[in-house]
Amino acid sequence: MKEKPHVHYRHEWKHEISYADLLTIRSRMRAIAIPDPHALDGKYLIRSLYFDNRNDKALREKIDGVNMREKFRIRYYNFDPSIIHLEKKSKLNGLGSKFSADLTAEEAQKIVDGDIKWMLNSDKPLIKELYCKMVNQGMRPMTVVDYTREPFIFGPGNVRVTLDYDIRTGLGCTDFLNPELITVPAGDAPIIMEVKWDAYLPDIIRDAVQLKGCRVGAFSKYAQCRVYG
């Protein structure tokens, strides 16, 4: 009998911040943490394609603050389709987990086009899970989400601090592998600081990310990018 994959939950804070706050946090992080080695000039572009069903289940659960929820997305970086990930993010009691499986550009395009029968024979459980939910729950590609990320990492606690901005939506277009896809600003989207860690958050990071009048929130880029429908 195959063992179920171990679920690794992480703590997560999200803060909506100002541009002045971004400059402050960027300066602090550069002093105590290191940039993600995958970043180019300290940042990278992220493009994701989010899934939902006919009833907008993922969107409604996020808006309603449902305690246990999940979402699927396909993601790649810097418009480079040589590395594409299918991801499932889950939330339980405020803690987050993520499962991932690699996709080829051809496989990703097939999913976008609705050519999904091949997924049932995949040797990757996450691809099979998405197939089952596309067939049984009507899950389908919903919208493209673009943004710029500045990532920092700190070894103790496996900490990751990211600054995300210029959030843009593909509206109803799901052709996310098309580099010519037009995206537009997702309403009045804020800058988002995310802080993620495992068992503990070192004091040096806890102090560095403190901002006056800034409280932990539950911002969702996917929900923001559905602002137009």
146-177 per-position pLDDT tens digit: 999 999 999 999 999 999 999 999 998 999 99
**Domain edges within the chain:** 11-224
For residue 157, the model assigns a pLDDT of: 93
pTM (two decimals) = 0.91
Query: Distance between CA 99 and CA 117 in Å, rounded?
Result: 22
For residue 215, the model assigns a pLDDT of: 82
Contacts within 8 Å (CB) and 24+ apart, 75-84? 75/46, 75/47, 75/48, 75/49, 76/47, 77/38, 77/44, 77/45, 77/46, 77/47, 78/40, 78/44, 78/45, 79/45, 79/47, 79/179, 81/105, 81/108, 81/177, 84/108
For the chain, residues with pLDDT lower than 70 are 1-7
173-212 per-position pLDDT tens digit: 999 999 899 999 999 999 999 999 998 999 999 999 999 8
Cβ(32)–Cβ(208) under 8 Å? yes
For residue 1, the model assigns a pLDDT of: 42
Options 3.20.100.30, 3.40.1010.20, 3.90.226.10, 3.40.50.300; CATH of 11-224: 3.20.100.30
